[in-house]
A and B are shown apart, each in its own frame.
Chain A
Amino acid sequence: MSTASAASTPTRAPRAAAGPLSKWTGRLWRTNEFWVFVVIIVLALVIQVRSGQFFTANNLVDIAGAMVVPGIFAVGAHLVIVSGGIDVSFPALASLAVYATTRVLVDSGFAGPVIVPFAIAMCLGALLGAFNGVFTARLTVPTLIITLGTANVFSGVMQGALNSVQIPNIPQSMAAFGAAELFEATNTTSGLRSVLPMSFLLLVAVVAGAWFLTRRTMFGRGIFAIGGDEAAAERAGFKVKRIRFWLYVLVGVIAAIAGMVRTCAMGQMHPTNLLGMEMMVIAAVVLGGTAITGGTGSLTGVMLGTALIVIVQNSMILTGIPTFWQGFALGLLIIVGTGVSAVQVARSRGRRITAA
């Protein structure tokens, strides 16, 4: 069992001989990603029938645009959860890194290219991530409790020590990046225009980077191995503490990127704007099939889960449901989604034991 899970891959292990196509469909049936996709399609059809507005160009672009910030966060949360941990500090971390960066740049009258604020924020993110990393690598306390502590330290430093206030005027290049558009789509009937922001490319880049990391590097394999079975990973030669430390550094960097994107897009720095987002992002990751106990999950699932939650949030208005039902719908989604995957885990465990 231990060696099996250490070597487990994001997709389930192939079963015995069958035709290539039936093997592929048979595997597809059992993936969480497939079912999330089905739910998204059903939801889209229902919204389309009720409002006639879902499959319009501008609505689809709106949804893609709304996915950028939670999507980048979700990649980071996915990596942590795959390693068997859970991080609730990333919104606070991103807020602090971006606030400090923006404050310094605005105060010094910065007028350079947008790459500079991103670089500074990412360095700060790495530093704060290292703070998380030191604790999580050294202690055996559940990471939820550690990151609850660091989340408060981060927001305390930002709101107390840095005395954070809203910064209405961010550097010109940041605002320009936030307003930059990839392309725009117009709704033919209502004439509403929607813009896909340039930052969507950043989401694509982060996902691609994470894909390369988890599929092509030993570090990435190590993250999965630790989540599968820490003792087995240690025996297999992975340096568990080191991997865990650098993982949290990396997640800090990813979170800082997401925070920077949000600030650029808003055209102002709002210190507490991101706080409270952690629950929604973790929900998206778990809905996408990343096992909360670690070891399994895929980036496809993470993006589908994010899309599902963004659609639920964005489409309430289209269907005429009051937005105060959001929390209720989100909670129900988390419970149903995790319930389904918990049952699946229990079943596959049973199968693995009988197979062995």
Chain B
Amino acid sequence: METSTSKSPRAASPSRTQALRFWERDPWSARLVVVMIALLIFFAAVRPQAFFSGRTWTSMAVQFPEFGLMALGVMVTMFTAGIDLSVVAIANVTAICTALTLRAVLTPEVSATNSLMAVAIALGTALVVGIVCGAINGLLIAKLKIPAILATLGTLELFGGIAIVLTGGKPVSGVPKAYGAVFAAKIGGVVPMALIVFILCALVAGALLALTSFGKEILMLGTNETAARFSGMKISSLLVRTYVMSGVLAAMAGLVMLANYNSAKADYGATYTLLTVLIVVLGGVNPNGGKGRLLGVLLSILMLQVLSSGLNMFSGISNFYRPLIWGAVLLFVITVNEMNIRNPLERFLPGRNKS
């Protein structure tokens, strides 16, 4: 952020502030920040009691990690010009497997060692399920060359089907308390564990994307597959790793869902399939691959949660309007993005007179 990256020779104008530089470097994220601030101001002004209550904020922090983690998975696949529609099914399968394993291994009574074991078992199961499901997706896409939309549509049905077969379509309850004691806990009575899990996963994902060659390679694969192939990248292995990463993130979402609902069922979170795609596109990721930033996606996750929680403060607006709003936002964003309407404010920013 310290170095100016603008191509314009007049960019070095000393009067420019940090915020303006951020705007110029990443106008998409900057726009999201502006929209989010506007939303926050609006809700703070119209519904101050609800807005300033701690409960609103805690419940927001519990809710968004579920679909936020899935969205991070969809994001990495969209970097490669693919898509992962199976994240919700992977999350549900994970939650069900974790619940069943925990129930089989742990006895109901709670003890300190049990908590530790619960975490170990849960994380272990989630990793195994996430890696296996992601690898199946990746192999179908990389080896059989099935288009990602179709392959993950098929595995969405398949994993969902497995989840139903495992449970007979009924919810799995009776999750040992030791699990909830850790994953549904609030640290210091305020910060929910779900948020911690999300932040950790986002940090790991961010580090993978920014610091390893993996991050650069998947963007390059999304930009131009032929060029990527000729530059000596192992496309199949890269694709499998991408979908495994998506699967593991979805599996983490499954752990969060299991903690939030205290039960697991094959069709929890069915509406998240669209929501995750919406988040990722709204976050500035190009559905045709090759372009996008983690920051934008994180901002868009937060923005949608603010919008959703804000709507909850208005009892007059029925929940059924939510798909309408989400759909309209998605259409609006892709249209604006495509039309490349330049921000009207841009003209007034200094040092921005590119022809």
Q: Which residues in A have some Cβ–Cβ distance to B below 8 Å? A: 86, 135, 138-142, 144-146, 148-157, 159-161, 163, 279, 282-283, 286, 292-293, 322, 324-332, 334-335, 338-339, 342-343, 345-346
Query: Quick check: is B149 within 8 A (CB to CB) of the other chain?
Result: yes
Main secondary structure of the interface of B (DSSP, over half): helix
Given A152-B326, A330-B161, A345-B145, 8 new contacts (CB under 8 A): A138-B335, A149-B327, A149-B334, A279-B157, A324-B165, A327-B161, A338-B147, A338-B154
**Chain A nearest Cβ from B107, distance in angstroms:** 29
Best-buried of B83, B157, B160, B330 by chain A (most CB within 10 Å): B157
Number of interface residues of B (CB under 8 A): 46
Interface presence of B185 (CB below 8 A): no
* 5 nearest CB pairs, A to B: A156-B324, A331-B158, A152-B327, A328-B161, A327-B161
Chain A binding surface, main DSSP class: helix
A334 engages B150 (CB within 8 Å):
yes
Pairwise interchain contact B157-A156, C-beta atoms closer than 8 A: no
Whether B345 sits at the interface, judged by CB under 8 Å, is no
| CB-based contact B157/A283 at 8 Å | yes
Asked if A156 and B164 make an inter-chain contact with CB atoms under 8 angstroms apart, the answer reads no
Question: Which residues of chain B (126-156) have a CB below 8 Å from chain A?
Answer: 140, 144-147, 149-151, 153-156
CA distance A336 to B138 in the complex (A): 15
Closest to B168 in A: A324
Chain B residues with CB below 8 A from A163, complex form? 318, 320
Interface residues of B in 164-194 (CB under 8 A from A): 164-165, 168-169
B164 & A145 in contact (Cβ 8 Å cutoff):
no
- B residues near A326, Cβ cutoff 8 Å: 161
B-chain residues with CB within 8 Å of residue A86 when the two chains form the complex: 149
Q: Which residue of chain B has its CB nearest to the CB of A157? A: B324
Q: Is B338 a contact of A335 with CB atoms below 8 Å?
A: no
Q: Decide if B274 is an interface residue (CB 8 Å cutoff).
A: yes
Bound Cα distance from A292 to B168, whole angstroms: 32
Contact between chains at A160 and B150 (CB < 8 Å): no
Task: Report B-chain residues with C-beta under 8 Å of the C-beta of A148.
Answer: 274, 277-278, 327, 330
Complex: how many Å from CA A346 to CA B142? 13
Contact of B153 among A145, A146, A282 (CB under 8 A): A282
Closest residue of chain B to A156 (Cβ to Cβ) is: B324
Within the complex, what minimum Cβ distance (angstroms) separates B75 from chain A? Answer: 14
Instruction: Mark contacts of B48-85 with chain A using CB atoms, 8 A cut-off: 1 yes-contact digit, 0 otherwise.
Output: 00000000000000000000000000000000000100
A205 to chain B, nearest CB (A): 29
B290 within 8 A of A: no
Q: Among A156, A279, A328, A339, point to the contact of B325 (Cβ < 8 A).
A: A156
Complex: A324 Cα to B167 Cα, angstroms: 9
B159 within 8 A of A: yes
Establish whether residues A331 and B154, one from each chain, have CB atoms under 8 Å apart when the complex forms: yes
List 22 A–B pairs whose Cβ atoms lie within 8 Å, in order of A's numbering.
A141-B334, A145-B330, A148-B274, A148-B277, A152-B326, A152-B330, A153-B324, A153-B331, A156-B322, A156-B327, A279-B156, A293-B147, A324-B165, A328-B157, A328-B162, A330-B161, A331-B159, A332-B161, A334-B157, A335-B140, A339-B144, A342-B147
